[in-house]
Amino acid sequence: MSVAIENFVKAIYKNGKRDNNDTKPGNIAKELGISNAAATDMAKKLATKDLLNYEKYQPLQLTKKGTKMALLVIRKHRLWEALLFKMFDMSLHDIHREAELLEHQTSDFLANKISEYLGNPKFDPHGDPIPNSNGEITTKDTSVQLSNVQEGKSYIISRLMSDDKEFFDFCALNGLKYGNTLVVSKQFSNNKMTQILINNNTIVLNQDFTSIIYVNENH
């Protein structure tokens, strides 16, 4: 299967999770930076390969086979991120960029070697779960978006769900890092803004950021 196909099923999987199953061609096209027409074309093609179900004007739905393909690509991506992060002094954004390419050129055999070397980690450096070699995610995610938390409580950052350099630069600067602790000091105007205390600094985040930072309550 080609890189284009792998990226296509991956985009459907990711957008499905993120945008509450808005997996219509336009949404996927945007994610991939291609035209809507190209997305429709590709959807039809992948339907003939039993990777997804296609019905005109309906959201695209991955089949079992398509989902497995997506998860195996995501597995390779996250394993590469984990490996590069551990071995080299590289930013989250940089490891993402490299993994984005390497993921398509990695045999299952090599992926397993990397996993084994790392001690079969369950999460990558963003806190995203790493699917196993059968394309299954066995960990269950109890984290919530930082936009959805309660004032006054303490939380542990569990996930930074982004590909964006600006965001990661901001995170690096402010101690927003997988595993770190923060306290929510105030929620403003319907959770559009969130004030947190982290590393003895008070910062205010808007929803662009609080919707992609996931946390678990700190008991």
Partner DNA sequence: ATTAATTTTTAAGTAAGCTTAAAAAATTTT
Partner DNA sequence: AAAATTTTTTAAGCTTACTTAAAAATTAAT
Segment near DNA (CB under 7 A); pick from 55-63, 79-87, 88-96, 109-117: 55-63
* 14, 18, 21, 38: which one binds DNA (CB under 7 A): 38
Give the nearest distance from C-beta 73 to its own copies in angstroms: 14
Q: Does 92 bind its own copies (CB under 8 A)?
A: no
Backbone φ and ψ of 144, nearest 5°: -130, 160
Q: Does 53 bind DNA (CB under 7 A)?
A: no
Strand partners, 205: 194
Q: What part of residues 144-203 is at the interface with DNA (CB under 7 A)?
A: none
102 binds, among DNA, its own copies, none (CB under 5 to 8 A by kind): its own copies
* 48, 56, 190, 219: which one binds DNA (CB under 7 A): 56
Q: What part of residues 112-171 is at the interface with its own copies (CB under 8 A)?
A: 113-114, 117
Q: Provide CB contacts within 8 A for 196, sequence distance 6+.
A: 146, 182, 183, 184, 185, 202, 203, 204, 205
Segment near its own copies (CB under 8 A); pick from 16-24, 94-102, 145-153, 202-210: 94-102
Give the nearest distance from C-beta 88 to its own copies in angstroms: 4
105 binds, among DNA, its own copies, none (CB under 5 to 8 A by kind): its own copies
Q: Of 110, 95, 103, give the one whose Cα is nearest residue 14.
A: 103
**Is 119 in a helix, a strand, or coil?**
coil
Q: Does 204 bind DNA (CB under 7 A)?
A: no
Give dist(CA 107, CA 65) in Å, integer: 18
Contact 70, 9 (CB under 8 A): yes
Helix axes 64-87, 3-18, angle to 10 degrees: 90
Q: What are the angstrom distances between the C-alpha of 200 and each of 1, 101, 181, 196, 212?
A: 50, 38, 11, 10, 22
Catalog residues that contact DNA under the rule CB under 7 A.
Answer: 2-5, 8, 24-27, 29, 32-45, 56-58
Catalog residues that contact its own copies under the rule CB under 8 A.
Answer: 84, 87-90, 94, 97-98, 101-102, 104-107, 109-110, 113-114, 117
